[in-house]
Amino acid sequence: MTGYERIQAALAGKMPDKTPIMLHNFMMAVNEAGYTMKQYRNNPKVIAECFIRAVEKYQYDGIVVDIDTVTLAGACGVKVDFPETEPARSHTGILSSLTEPDQLKPVNVQSYPYATIWCEAVSLLKDYFKNEIYIRGNCDQAPFSLATMIRGVENMMMDLCLEEENRVFEFLDYCYEATSQFIKMMAEAGADMVSNGDSPAGPSMLSPDMYERFALPYEKKVCEYAHQLGVPYLLHICGNTDIIIDQMITCGTDVLELDYKTNINRAEEKMRGKTVFAGNIDPAGVLAFGTPALVREKTIELIEVFKNNPRFILNAGCAIPSTTPPENLFSMIHTARE
């Protein structure tokens, strides 16, 4: 099987010949290719080159094309910092009140250069790998997460408790428009799968009831829209998601990417026969700072849980740090290939 075929098999619930591996390793790929993050984010050819080199070196199956976590926020007018050697970042929101929506610029993600660069890189990678390697185009933030960036996290959490719900939903509708525009751009660029992160919607920030009321409906809408465009959808939420896994599954996503804090046995049981699990090796404590022996141990433990479940894609639980030793990544991949 090709890498593309392995991931397609997992999505179809069919046992692949080997464990599919789709790495969220953009920072490591940039570092190993000898570029700065500034050079990477500004040039689709550099982005594609970094991933081509990484696939050739580590021989994995699926690429997660990522740049940063603030592209949609920037497209909506949030001030963004662009460090030379780190991914872009934002610090404060721009909307002083939900009663003043005229502060928000009209949504036009296609006019934001970093969004178009991101999609151009996906097109280049798809042209290069054809159907040999699977291309996941990450589409930055799901609507609720984007809302926390535009409004500011603390302000948004207060709004959920104090503001009229219709104003909150109008704001989330605005954020959905931004997310869906990026999903469409990525699908048109040729991505085999699209994805979003919605970590502020997780239990570390929201109660399950508030998650179901404010975040989940928009995750469902984005997922449905991706399916209308003919592409599978992946949802990522950081932290321990044990108490909302049942709700997350109902959004209709093809894949849930969960981090190491989630109980893997519980997740496998809940998702079996319904949803693909992607993850969930600890990117820092194991991959970046562990030993090859520890990486091997944790990889074996994870694969053992899914030995009779084809709906599994091996990955770290979140983005792999740029300083991860190559021998640790090799250890994870070689263990999975045994």
Rounded CA separation 156/171 (Å):
10
| Other beta carbons within 10 Å of 100 | 9
127 to each of 56, 124, 133, 134, 226, how far by Cα in Å?
A: 16, 5, 11, 12, 21
Mean pLDDT of 199-203: 96
Domain that holds residue 321: 3-337
Look at residue 298 in the predicted model and tell me its pLDDT.
Answer: 98
Question: Is it the case that residue 103 has pLDDT exceeding 80?
Answer: no
Q: Is pLDDT of 50 > 70?
A: yes
Q: What type of residue sits at position 325?
A: P
Task: List, for residues 62-90, the tens digit of each pLDDT value.
Answer: 999 999 999 999 999 999 999 999 999 99
Find the length of the chain: 338
pTM of the model: 0.96
Q: What's the structural domain count of the chain?
A: 1
Name the band, by pLDDT with cuts 50, 70 and 90, for residue 105.
Answer: confident
Provide the pLDDT for residue 101: 65
Half-sphere exposure of 265 (CA within 13 A, CB side): 2
| Average of per-residue pLDDT across 149-172 | 94
CATH number for the domain harbouring residue 71: 3.20.20.210
Q: How many CA atoms lie within 13 A of 92 on its CB side?
A: 3
Q: Which pairs from 326-329 meet CB under 8 Å and 24+ separation? A: 326/32, 326/57, 327/292, 328/286, 328/287, 328/288, 328/290, 328/291, 328/292, 328/295, 329/23, 329/25, 329/28, 329/58, 329/287
Q: Is the pLDDT of residue 102 over 80?
A: no
pLDDT at 36 over 90: yes
Closest CA to 214 of 246, 248, 169, 147: 169
Confidence of residue 169 (pLDDT cuts 50, 70, 90): very high
